[in-house]
Amino acid sequence: MIEQKITILGSGTSQGIPVIGCHCASCSSTDSKDKRFRTSALIQVNNIRILIDAGPDLRMQLLTNRIEEIDAVLFTHEHQDHTAGLDDLRPIILKQKKGMPLWCSSQVQKRLEEQYSYTIKNANYPGVPKFQYCNFEEDHFEIEGVKIVRIHAKHGELDVSGFRIGAISYLTDLNYISDEELEKVKGSSLLILGCLRRESHYSHFNLEEAIELGRKSRVPRILFTHLSHHFEVQSQLTRALPKGIELAYDGQIIEIEY
């Protein structure tokens, strides 16, 4: 029996909720479940902690959820709302006294090397974080003994990676996945799935498309993430969702044995 735990660190789209200066129903809501940091999650398998994405809210996400150790970071893609907080791992990297393994595609590595060029150019400057790039070479790989399957999807023109880790599949920022790749998701107990808004979008699933993909995946429990303020407040939207589909919320913890 393997014990697995996922913590939703953020469930909001690129501007988060509330959006600065917006006074719509979602942004004005006093319900804590309507406050959403940028999309990210921590998956723990036994004692290995794997962070998925490192967006601009990372510092507060780690503090709020009292996360003090991370063994590796997995990147879905290179957009700023998934990478802009990487420098905030410094205290953890300094404490662990080794480079942080960053698992990503070569395309994402290139962007991270540009964005964090000082970690290469000024690598010996005191306090500069040490990163250890690990490219996805195979779709099946292991991080400290934890088996991971990479899932390929499309986010508009961009290639993105989703992940199957044990009984959990994680797919965000996508508007297309082939049937072949969806096979990798089948048999999961939990699917975290990106769903932006009701209106269609050129690079994200809208509500209807995400519900359809959820059905096709046959995963019994699905949590929507990467939600935007264009949706109604969560208590209202929740009532409109089919059985087996919920909205993720920040700080949500789900434990699974498989």
Choose between 150 and 229: whose C-beta lies nearer to Zn ion: 229
Q: How many CA atoms lie within 13 A of 187 on its CB side?
A: 7
Choose between 4 and 228: whose C-beta lies nearer to Zn ion: 228
User: Pairing between strand 131-135 and 100-104?
Assistant: parallel
Instruction: Please tell me the distance from the alpha carbon of residue 12 to that of residue 24, in angstroms, as a whole number.
Output: 15
Choosing from 6, 8, 27, 182, the residue that interacts with Zn ion (CB under 5 A) is 27
Q: How far is the CB of 158 from Zn ion (least distance, A)?
A: 7
Q: Which two tokens stand for residue 47?
A: 């004692």
Q: Is 205:194 a contact under the CB 8 Å cutoff? A: yes
Q: Should residue 24 be labelled a site residue for Zn ion when binding is judged by CB under 5 A?
A: yes
- Residue 138: CB partners within 8 Å, gap ≥ 6? none
Q: How far is the CB of 14 from Zn ion (least distance, A)?
A: 5
3-state helix, strand, coil in the chain (%, to 5): 25, 30, 45
Size of the site for Zn ion (CB under 5 A): 8
**Angle subtended at Cα 153 by Cα 151 and Cα 158, rounded to the nearest 5 degrees:** 130
Tell me which residues in 85-124 interact with Zn ion (CB under 5 A): none
Instruction: Please tell me the distance from the alpha carbon of residue 143 to that of residue 44, in angstroms, as a whole number.
Output: 11
Instruction: Please tell me the distance from the alpha carbon of residue 213 to that of residue 210, in angstroms, as a whole number.
Output: 5
Q: Where does this chain touch Zn ion (CB under 5 A) — which range of 40-48, 79-87, 116-124, 236-244? A: 79-87
Instruction: Please tell me the distance from the alpha carbon of residue 256 to that of residue 164, in angstroms, as a whole number.
Output: 14
Instruction: Please tell me the distance from the alpha carbon of residue 19 to that of residue 147, in angstroms, as a whole number.
Output: 37
Choose between 11 and 44: whose C-beta lies nearer to Zn ion: 11
Q: Is 146:45 a contact under the CB 8 Å cutoff? A: yes
Q: Which two tokens stand for residue 5?
A: 């735990």
Q: Where does this chain touch Zn ion (CB under 5 A) — which range of 44-52, 57-65, 76-84, 112-120? A: 76-84
Q: Where does this chain touch Zn ion (CB under 5 A) — which range of 18-26, 61-69, 122-130, 176-184? A: 18-26
Q: How far is the CB of 44 from Zn ion (least distance, A)?
A: 23
Choosing from 35, 36, 49, 79, the residue that interacts with Zn ion (CB under 5 A) is 79
Q: Where does this chain touch Zn ion (CB under 5 A) — which range of 17-25, 61-69, 117-125, 134-142? A: 17-25
Contact characters 135-174, Zn ion, x per CB under 5 A: --------------------------------------x-
Contact characters 188-227, Zn ion, x per CB under 5 A: ----------------------------------------
Binding residues vs Zn ion (CB under 5 A): 19, 22, 24, 27, 79, 81, 173, 229
